[in-house]
Amino acid sequence: MIKKNIMIENYSRVTEILYPFSGLSNADPEVLMAAADRGTRAHKACEAIAAGLGEFGVDPEIMGFVESFKKWWGTGKKVVAMEERFFCDEHELTGQCDFIIETPEGLAIVDLKTSRHESKTWRVQGAAYAYLARKKGYDIKRILFVHLNIDGDEPKVFEYEEDWDFFLACLTVYNYFFKPAKKRKSRSSEKSKESAVKN
């Protein structure tokens, strides 16, 4: 178990891989931190509603997002998985979507977004989540990103076609140019140890 945990620490998160392509690296760090905190609180409140726990922890700053989510959620949806983390040993990759729900067309990946605008990385992020969830045994048929409205209006739902090859291209660039050397070195060391044991 300890060995497996060490290996997982060296895995790259989907969001970490796509960050260099998001355009956020030039943004004010304090603004980013505030937005991330607001988004986290909104996610937790929405997940509580989805879990049937009711509304709690809803402060004025995230009220609009929560009301927007409730408009999309309606009387409820069939949740198959919530906040489940997936792993891929082959690509040393990990990712976690907000929900997997049942739809008439089959299982759908759902990720909630609270940013101001749609990001070009969402489509690629969804492809990675679908791939990872499918490796865990979920027969994913749809990718839905729900862009919550800060004023409480109906959210905009983006449905993306899966493009795993595009994500792999991003992963290749990330591994070459951006992946922290510590992760590369640690994984190389781990592989060397495994080879030594085998030999």
pLDDT digits (tens, 9 = 90+) for 19-63: 999 988 888 999 999 999 999 999 999 999 999 999 988 999 999
Residue 196 lies inside a defined structural domain of this protein: no
Give residue 170's domain range: 2-183
In the chain, how many domains are there? 1
Residue 191 lies inside a defined structural domain of this protein: no
The distance of Cα 144 from the centroid of its chain, to the nearest Å, equals 12
CATH number at residue 31: 3.90.320
Residue 189 lies inside a defined structural domain of this protein: no
Residue 190 lies inside a defined structural domain of this protein: no
Residue 61 lies inside a defined structural domain of this protein: yes
pLDDT digits (tens, 9 = 90+) for 144-184: 999 999 999 999 999 999 999 999 999 999 999 999 875 55
% of the chain residues with pLDDT over 70: 87
DSSP state of 155: P
